[in-house]
Amino acid sequence: MSQILQLFIWIPLIGFLVSLFIPGKRESLIAWIAMATTGIQFSGLVAFVLYWLFNKQVALDIKHFVFFKSEDIEIFIDFYFDKITVVFSLVGSLLTFLVAIFSKYYMHREEGFKRFFNTKLLFFFGYNLIIFSGNFETLFIGWEFLGISSFLLITFFRDRYLPVKNGLKVISVYRLSDICLILAMWMSHHLWHENILFSKLNDVNLVAEHLKLHYGYGVFIACMIFLAAAVKSAQLPFSSWLPRAMEGPTTSSSIFYGSLSVHLGVFVLLRTYPYWESLIIIKALLIFTGIFTALIATSIAKVQSSVKVQIAYASIAQIGFMFVEIALGFHMLALLHFTGNAFLRTYQLLVSPSVLSYLTHDQFFNYEPSKQTGSNRGLQKIKNTFYILAIKEWNLDFLLKRILWNPFKQAGNKLQFISGKIVLLIIIAIYISGLFCNLYQYTIPVYLFNILPFFFSFAGLILIIKAFAERGDALWAWCCIVAGQLYITLSITLLNENFGPNHVILYLSGSVASAIVGFICLVKIKAIDTNIQLNQFHGYTYEHPKTGLVFLLACLGLIGLPFTPTFIGIDLLFSHIHKHQELLIISTSLSFVFLELSILRIYARVFLGQHKKAYHAMAYRSS
């Protein structure tokens, strides 16, 4: 049975790879591949689950593939199967199969028909990796694929302003959950001194012993897991990203943000429950967040004019109750609640265009204004206040922008002096001096050498924030990103005897190749049109779709998506930061948050959005 388990990862991956080679004009074949992939997956799961139920229902754990192994760390793929996996996998495969059938007709003759189904299968592959994951590393691989497929589907209508803008907003919030998971993995390495399996978390005595000896570290890991789950499931104060994610096609909204992707926070909490069940502070946080989110999201859902936004906030409210159920230990209820909510929201989103048309027609002929009733003026003012707050979604989007992103944008705007050939030479000179410091450590005073890692990490962070706020040349922003990555690598290499040259090569092998390819693509576009400023959208994917695709792959490689060795290098990079290097982990974490945002921002500004040339059809901001 353990060997059969891995088939449920291979089936979606094979379906995705096959669909890539089908010509875009073959709509029926592309749709049939998606339907066959998800249909076979669901049928196989039903047979596997029935066999598993009649054979003692023992949890399965299989160590599948080792990426990297050294004396102090091992990175490998691990699959796990239990009751939680059964529910999430069956619901996920059945809903994806049904939506694939619906999408065949709904997306008929749409310009991006093939792109839609390819991205949908990539999402399905990432979803299954998460659901069947047996450790944090495997879960994080699926988490990354899910994040990038979300971005691609939100920006599906890439000739419009709002889908591209909201795609960047959503991926910026997603990145917070990514970094929280990375930090949880980082501290887990130091707490367990191994790649901890989810199956080991069921050992109550082992977990209790570690939490007793390292209570502070345990609370930190649990807090990071809670934050990752809250962000992914759009709980307060991160709820505003979910309605913005509805910019994509209705079918992708139904499967992503109505049923599956938005419930992954619930899955993470259920999977890691044995670890934090004894931490009262985490349970209190979950209950408070869940109840508060349910109340606020319900009030917002009741007054919104957009049906998609209503459904989004209604789903957020139900997930808030699921958080409460998990904290109180009612796991079977939470699984049942997830199943019902997933099917209901998928159905609501798929029929929403038809229902909206009917209701508009009904309102036109049967509208009756509400009768005014006398009431206490003070109470009426309170009601009006809450009504306006709900209409404005409690200004959640504004608060996130004001608190999280604006300070860094303002800091980046003050770094305008970092430009030009002279500055580039200074950056190179400082980096070369850092390499010499690493080679001749014994010649540098100890007190100075202890400061150097943070200095180079902070320098890398400054360069990446500069790229994040850059509104000038895209090539210069790209160079700042690459230089920032090199500085970060150097900061970890210094003062760490275990992070050797082979680790550095593993990390840089994918990112350097991607950086060169991306640079060539930008040079090619600049040769066609000298203006590739980041203060506007250029939409070059119209006239240069192949260059846009190659540049997107270069961006994903530079980010460290799990198809390059850089992904393994990122895990190694964080695992070699010591527990006592607080400033180093803070600056490195911030760098990786803004690294992905800066890279995808360059891609969006140069290749997406309405085309700058007037002879192309233009979708205005209000579209």
Residues 252 and 180 in one domain: yes
The conformation of residue 262, written as its DSSP 8-state character, comes to: G
pLDDT (0 to 100) of residue 538: 84
Phi, psi of 75, rounded to the nearest 5 degrees: -115, 120
In a domain, 438, yes or no: yes
Distance CA(5)–CA(77), nearest Å, equals 13
**Using alpha carbons only, what angle is made at residue 131 by residues 129 and 137, rounded to the nearest 5 degrees?**
55
Let me know whether 584 and 470 are in one domain.
yes
Q: Which two tokens stand for residue 523?
A: 């040079």
Whether 352 and 427 share a structural domain: no
Nearest CA among 218, 315, 234, 311 for reference residue 272: 218
Structural domains counted in the chain: 2
In whole angstroms, what is the distance from residue 121 CA to residue 31 CA? 11
**Do 436 and 309 sit in the same domain of this protein?**
no
Over residues 47-64, the pLDDT tens digits come to 998 988 888 778 888 887
Same domain, 351 and 419: no
Record the pTM: 0.90
pLDDT in tens, 410-428: 888 888 877 777 888 888 8
Contact indicator for 90, 38 with CB cutoff of 8 Å = no
For residue 530, what pLDDT is reported? 78
Q: Is residue 322 a contact partner of residue 332, using CB atoms and an 8 Å limit?
A: no
Q: Is residue 267 part of a domain?
A: yes
Q: Is there a single domain that holds both residue 62 and residue 197?
A: yes
> In this structure, is residue 125 part of a structural domain?
yes
CA atoms within 13 A on the CB side of 316: 32
| 387 in a structural domain | no
Domain with 590, as residue range(s), is 415-607
- Let me know whether 286 and 426 are in one domain: no
Q: Is residue 364 situated within a structural domain?
A: no
Same domain flag for 430 and 561: yes
State the pLDDT at residue 363.
57
How far is 221 from 275, CA to CA, in rounded Å?
9
Same domain? 156 vs 274: yes
Long-range contacts of 412-415 (CB under 8 A, 24+ apart): 412/465, 412/466, 412/468, 412/469, 412/470, 413/469, 415/462, 415/465, 415/466, 415/469
Could you tell me where the DSSP H helices lie in 233-306? 241-244, 250-253, 264-276, 280-301
**Is 281 a member of any domain?**
yes
Q: Is residue 221 part of a domain?
A: yes
Note whether 350 and 422 are same-domain residues: no
Say if residue 337 is in the same domain as residue 448.
Answer: no
Q: Is 263 found in the same domain as 125? A: yes
Low-confidence stretches of the chain (pLDDT beneath 70): 1-2, 71-72, 354-375, 441-443, 447, 449, 494-500, 612, 614-623
Pairwise CA distance, residues 484 & 477, whole Å:
10
Domain presence at residue 390: no
